Every structure is written in C-alpha cells, then in structure tokens.
Structure 1
Amino acid sequence: MMTDPIADMLTRIRNAIQIERPFVEIPTSKVKVGIADVLQREGYIWDFEVVEQHPQSVLRINLKYSPTGERVIQRIARISKPGRRIYSDRHSIPEVLNGMGICVLSTNQGVLSSREARKKNVGGEVLCEVW
C-alpha cells in the first residue's frame, strides 16, 4: 500500500537517473502531470506524455542528460510529507541554491515552480525541490 504517491514518483525518477535510463514510467495523476509539466518548463526533463493503458494510464517522462552524459537533475527531494505538510506564503518561498534550483509548489493556480509563484505573487504547499 502506497501512502505517498508523490514521493514514489520522485523515487522512481531518482532511481532511473542513477542507472541513466532514457525514460521512466509512473502511474499517473493530475498532480504528477503538473509536477512533470513544471520540470519540463524549467528544463530538467525533455518531455512527458500520458500513455493510456488498462487499468490505469501511465506518465512517461523522458529524462534529460548533458551531451557528456552528466545528469541534469542532480537532486530531487520531497519536502512536504503526509505527516508534516510544509506551506509557504508568497513572501517566504524558499530559494534553492541561491536560484540555481527550484521548488515545486501546489498553489490555488495549479502546480508552479518557485520562480513562477514569485512572479504570480502566490504561495502554497512546497512539494519538492530540484537541482
């Protein structure tokens, strides 16, 4: 029984990057698609697609590596957990590595990166951080 599907998604991405897989498949949900969309907009993955399968559709994420084979995602970590939710208002959105990384937030305007949330002047639940 899986209690935290977002942590499962991040672990699958982390494991796929460790063994340098070109893509990873994850059971889909709206929040996971939102996180993948943020990762694509910020340049951490090539692209993603939802593959319709029975009984549940799958989110296929194409991972990104540099021309020399270096990983683009160096670290991806869950911040807010089911037992301890972490919220940030618009004035205290965390800055990861002095702007070199991002936080992914779940806001009332959808799933946004920390840069997008600052521009839109909104806060929300801090889901994970990536660099």
Structure 2
Amino acid sequence: MAMSDPLADMLTRIRNAGMAGHESLEMPHSKIKAGMAAILKQEGYIDDFQVSEDDKQGILKITLRYDDRRQQAITGIKRCSSPGRRIYVKHDRIPKVMSGLGVAVLSTSKGVMTDKQAREQKIGGELLCQVW
C-alpha cells in the first residue's frame, strides 16, 4: 500500500512507540522526516536519530526520550497540514503551541524549522505539525 502521508505515519509511529515504552523506532527515511527528527532532537523531545543506508531510501532510526519515571518527553504530537488540506501561514500568523511551551514545525523555503526560528527569520510556510 502506498502511503499518502509519510509525515503523519512518522508522527503516529513516534506516538505509538512512546505509549508502548519502546526505546527506539525505525521508519523509511526522507529529507522531511530527517528535518523533523533534527528539530525534535534540538527541542529536547527525542534523544537522538540516525540515518542508515539500505537498498532503497535508507532507514531513519529515532531514539525516544523518557524522564526518570519513564514518562515520554512528547506528551502530544498533532499533524496540522495534510496532503488533502495544506495549511500555510505567514510569519506573523504562526500559532503558539501551549502558550509557547510546545513547538510548531513548519516547512519553509529555507527548510524545516520551528515556529520560533520562522518568526525570527520572518518567513512563513506550511504548518506541518505541533509537538508538546
């Protein structure tokens, strides 16, 4: 079955792995997923990620982050834009997630970035998802 929304698949895999208490998870690699993983790491939601080669597109391995009580760092993750309904925002219209406690991820002309980076650089883009 061809996947129509690989990013939603990625978010679902992260959500499910976290709820099941897994240390890490793997998925097919793509540039946008790697960009997403880089932001999740930079914002402290995951411990690490690696891209390994295989015969096809490569594999993205994500190591999840938990606290001392085995609570997942990501309490919520929500897909905003979808292939059927793209959501684009201007830099001054980027939503604040959980009053700034969470992070919105955007796909811009300068690559995948957080809501804060996009506001600073005054560029809008497609609102991919929100994480808190």
What's the TM-score, normalizing by structure 1? 0.97
What letter is aligned with 2:117? E
Give 1:68 shift: 1.5
1:67 aligns with 2:68: yes
1:54 aligns with 2:71: no
Aligned to 1:45: 46
What letter is aligned with 2:95? P
Identity across matched positions, percent: 49
Task: Give RMSD over aligned pairs.
Answer: 0.8
What's the TM-score, normalizing by structure 2? 0.96
Aligned to 2:131: 130
Instruction: Write the deviation string for residues 91-124 of structure 1: whole angstroms up to 9, x where unpaired.
Output: 1001001001011000011100111111111110
What letter is aligned with 1:3? S
- Give the 3-state SS of the residue equivalent to 1:129 in structure 2: strand
Moved over 6 A (4+): none
Structure 2: gaps (5+ residues): none
Instruction: Write the deviation string for residues 23-80 of structure 1: whole angstroms up to 9, x where unpaired.
Output: 1101000000000011111111111000112233100000000112111100111100
Structure 1: gaps (5+ residues): none
Aligned to 2:96: 95
Q: May I ask how many residue pairs the two structures share in their alignment? A: 131
Aligned to 1:34: 35
Q: Whole-Å Cα distance in 2 between the matches of residues 16 and 68 of structure 1?
A: 16
